[in-house]
């Protein structure tokens, strides 16, 4: 379900690793070890280079995304494995905006692919659903929308102050994400695609999304495509997730609906994501954040990061390794080898040891 377009990275893959802040530093090393273990069997050459970009560096040196970083990543790496950014000592979130949004925008990673797949029936809060019922892909537009930082303050710090945050939608940007979603559905022979917006209230942006959707869907008559307003989608996805194979939506709605979908399959601790520009250096990160409430306790769930590294390996065309990673997570779930967020009693390190032992036996 999470198959992604391939980059022709050749036989050796170079991966930049940015653990970031909080639990990003705890779960990313687990994902790296699992990738190494999965790759070892068939002697796939992997090279990891770690970068310490995040809150500590920002607070120490005032540096967020260092000069030349984007070009270096684009030219020297096949993919980026990213943990999470966010630290209570940086309330402005400036470093996350510069590094995470900066890389999404500057590498033009317009596809944010966020698959939800129920890997074990114990972990859904819904009644009477089977594994096949919760398997969907959210495609989130990842380079524009309300995230672009267009806006400003007027009369700031006065009783009359105004804050403006613009929602920027280009025809090119809307078309390429909608087309990507249709191509994905066609490639996987998935029948149902839903475009979601708020065109009843956000009339200009919504009108553009509606018109582009109408023209692109005409090229894919074999796909049963429909539109839902985002509020209705949020309700329907919980009422009956069987309706959805592929969802495509804008940046903000995709952020929200992917957390919602993740919870149907066990929560943020299990949710992977890929930020892709097909054929170019792309960035892979779990959906969750830096979780300051549990950071440093050694109990962060590494499954989201490990499944994310599976998406990365699929992106490299290493499908068997990706499957081995997913199977290791499935096995841990079925053996109740989980961290407290999944009602388990194990630590990150114990889960990591289990996964690596499983991969050594099965990869
Ligand atoms: P969060 O995802 O960090 O945490 C939400 C809740 O889920 C918390 O209770 C947390 O403990 C739990 N959780 C998340 N991942 C978990 C895991 N792997 N194992 C166990 N429990 C897990 O979201 P938040 O609290 O809203 O944000 C915290 C910080 O992270 C903020 O600074 C936010 O901006 C940032 N953030 C970053 C990213 C990213 O870098 N991609 C994504 C989301 C949030
Ligand atoms: C995510 C996060 C980010 C986003 C934040 C940290 C800016 O929530 O990756 O889902 O909204 O894109
Ligand atoms: Mn989010």
pLDDT of 324 reads 97
Q: Above pLDDT 70, what percent of the chain?
A: 97
What pLDDT band is residue 274 in, cutting at 50, 70 and 90?
very high
- Arch. (CATH architecture) of 135-264: 3-Layer(aba) Sandwich (3.40)
Beta strands in the chain (DSSP E): 13-20, 46-50, 79-84, 111-117, 135-141, 151-154, 162-165, 192-197, 224-229, 246-249, 272-276, 282-286
Q: Which ligand is nearest to the CA of 101?
A: 2
At residue 12, the pLDDT reads 83
pLDDT in the model for residue 44: 83
Quickly state the pLDDT bin for 43 (edges 50, 70, 90).
confident
For 202, the token pair is 């956000």
Dihedral sign of CA atoms 289, 290, 292, 298 in order: positive
Q: Report the Cα–Cα distance between both ends of the chain, in Å, rounded.
A: 20
CATH topology of domain 1-110+271-363: Isopropylmalate Dehydrogenase (3.40.718)
Q: Indicate if ligand 2 lies below 6 Å from the C-beta of 255.
A: yes
Cα–Cα dist 320/305, whole Å: 18
Q: Is 206 in the pocket of ligand 1 (CB under 6 A)?
A: no
Alpha-helical runs (H) found in 189-229 = 203-217
Whether the CB-CB separation of 314 and 4 falls below 8 Å is answered with yes
- Residue 1 banded pLDDT, cuts 50, 70, 90: very low
Residue of 85, 100, 139 best suited for mutating to test ligand 2, as the one with most atoms within 8 Å of CB: 100
Using a 10 angstrom Cβ sphere, with 0-12 exposed, 13-18 middle and 19 or more buried, the burial of residue 148 is: middle
CA distances, 290 to each of 54, 86, 88, 119, 263 (Å): 11, 6, 10, 23, 17
Mutating to test ligand 2, I would choose from 88, 114, 289 the residue with most ligand atoms within 8 A of its C-beta, which is 289
pLDDT at 8 over 60: no
Look at residue 3 in the predicted model and tell me its pLDDT.
45
DSSP 359: H
Predicted model pTM: 0.96
Ligand 1 pocket check for 84: Cβ under 6 Å: yes
Average pLDDT over residues 340-359: 98
Rounded to the nearest integer, the mean pLDDT of the chain is 96
Q: For residues 150 and 182, what is the distance between their CA atoms, to the nearest angstrom?
A: 29
Tokens of 292: 């300051």
Model confidence at 59, pLDDT cuts 50, 70, 90, reads very high
Ligand 1 pocket residue status of 306, Cβ below 6 Å? no
pLDDT of 305: 99
Domain residue limits, the chain: 1-110+271-363, 135-264
pLDDT grade for 42, boundaries at 50, 70 and 90:
confident
What does 298-317 look like in DSSP terms, one character per residue?
A: S----HHHHHHHHHHHHHTT
Q: Is 227 helix (H, G, I), strand (E, B) or coil?
A: strand
How many beta carbons lie within 10 A of that of residue 338, not counting itself? 25
Cα 255 to middle of ligand 3, angstroms: 5
Ligand 2 pocket test target in 115, 116, 255 with most atoms within 8 Å of CB = 255
For residue 4, pLDDT over 80 is answered with no
Quick one: which atom of ligand 2 is closest to the CA of 97? 7
Domains 1-110+271-363 and 135-264 share a fold: yes
Per-residue pLDDT tens for 67-110? 999 999 999 999 999 999 999 999 999 999 999 999 999 999 99
Q: Which ligand is nearest to the CA of 102?
A: 2
Confidence band (pLDDT; 50, 70, 90) for 131? very high
Whose atoms come closest to the Cα of 24: which ligand?
A: 1
Nearest residue CA, atom 12 of ligand 2? Answer: 255
Q: Which atom of ligand 1 is nearest to the CA of 305?
A: 18
- Confidence class of residue 7 from pLDDT cuts 50, 70 and 90? low
Does the beta carbon of 352 lie inside 6 Å of ligand 1? no
Q: How far apart are CA 217 and CA 48, in angstroms?
A: 41
- Asked if residue 96 has its Cβ within 6 Å of ligand 2, the reply is yes
């Amino acid at each position: 379900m999470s198959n992604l377009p391939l980059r022709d990275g050749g036989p050796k893959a170079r991966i930049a690793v940015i653990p970031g802040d909080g639990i990003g530093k705890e779960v990313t090393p687990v994902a790296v070890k699992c990738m190494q273990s999965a790759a070892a069997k068939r002697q796939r050459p992997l090279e990891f280079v770690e970068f310490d970009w995040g809150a500590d560096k920002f607070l120490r040196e005032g540096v967020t995304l260092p000069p030349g970083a984007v070009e270096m990543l684009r030219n020297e790496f096949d993919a980026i494995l990213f943990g999470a950014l966010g630290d209570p000592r940086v309330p402005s979130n400036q470093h996350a905006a510069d590094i995470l949004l900066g890389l999404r925008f500057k590498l033009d990673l317009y596809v944010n692919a966020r698959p939800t797949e129920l890997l074990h029936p114990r972990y859904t809060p819904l009644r009477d659903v089977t594994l096949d019922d919760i398997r969907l892909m959210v495609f989130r537009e990842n380079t524009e929308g309300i995230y672009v930082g267009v806006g400003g303050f007027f009369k700031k710090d006065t009783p009359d102050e105004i804050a403006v945050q613009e929602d920027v939608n280009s025809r090119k940007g809307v078309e390429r994400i909608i087309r990507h979603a249709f191509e994905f559905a066609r490639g996987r022979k998935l029948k149902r695609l839903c475009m979601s917006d708020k065109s009843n209230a956000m009339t200009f942006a919504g009108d553009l999304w509606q018109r582009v959707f109408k023209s692109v869907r005409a090229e894919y008559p074999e796909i049963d495509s429909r539109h839902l307003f985002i509020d209705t989608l949020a309700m329907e996805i919980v009422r009956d997730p069987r309706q959805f194979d592929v969802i495509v939506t804008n940046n903000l709605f995709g952020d929200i609906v992917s957390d919602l979908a993740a919870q149907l399959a066990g929560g943020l601790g299990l949710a992977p994501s890929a930020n892709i520009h097909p054929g170019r250096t792309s960035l892979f990160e779990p959906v969750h954040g830096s979780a300051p409430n549990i950071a440093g306790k050694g109990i962060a769930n590494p499954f989201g990061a490990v499944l994310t590294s599976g998406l990365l390996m699929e992106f490299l065309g290493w499908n068997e390794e990706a499957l081995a990673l997913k199977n290791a997570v499935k096995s841990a779930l079925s053996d109740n080898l989980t961290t407290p967020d999944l009602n388990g009693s194990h630590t990150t390190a114990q889960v990591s040891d289990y996964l690596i032992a499983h991969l050594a036996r099965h990869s």
